[in-house]
Amino acid sequence: MNHTIRLLLIVSLSSLLVACSTVTRVEAIGSNRIALNKDCQVSILEKSKLPDSYETLGKIETHIKGNIFLGGSVKTNDEGYKELRTKTCALGGNAFVIDDSMETSSAEMRHVHIWARVLNIPEIL
């Protein structure tokens, strides 16, 4: 019995100490498009260099946290871009633009918070 309780405690603690976790909120805007494959082609655009013609398909707000001692270092242009690419494909977009992003750290934890828009740009197709 004691052994079972100990095992349950270890499993519970391990699940709390995960290396990385991501919370993403997606708000679809405008026409619904068919979701593309997870690894679809996605362009990353700068806010100041948007083309004249594009359609906004959605807004994404994502928070990724990682524990450095468990190999969970997080960066905007690594884990952040990966998450945004996946969500862009799911919304049927072919580009995203980052409106704001923040990287913070406290003790063992590293955090990335990104606000982005998913776009469909006809000239990319």
Q: Which of 70, 75, 77, 82 touches another protein (CB under 8 A)?
A: 70
Asked if 47 touches another protein (CB under 8 A), the answer is: yes
Is residue 107 a contact partner of residue 53, using CB atoms and an 8 Å limit?
no
Q: For 47, phi and psi rounded to 5 degrees?
A: -60, -35
Is 16 an interacting residue with respect to another protein (CB under 8 A)?
Answer: yes
Query: Measured from the CB atom, is 7 or 102 closer to another protein?
Result: 102
**Please, is 103 exposed, middle or buried when counting C-beta atoms within 10 Å of its C-beta (0-12, 13-18, 19+)?**
middle
Establish if 17 lies at the interface with another protein (CB under 8 A): yes
- CA atoms of 59 and 40, how far apart (whole Å): 18
Question: Given the rule CB under 8 A, which residues bind another protein?
Answer: 16-17, 47, 63, 65, 67, 69-70, 99-100, 102, 104, 106-109, 111, 113, 115
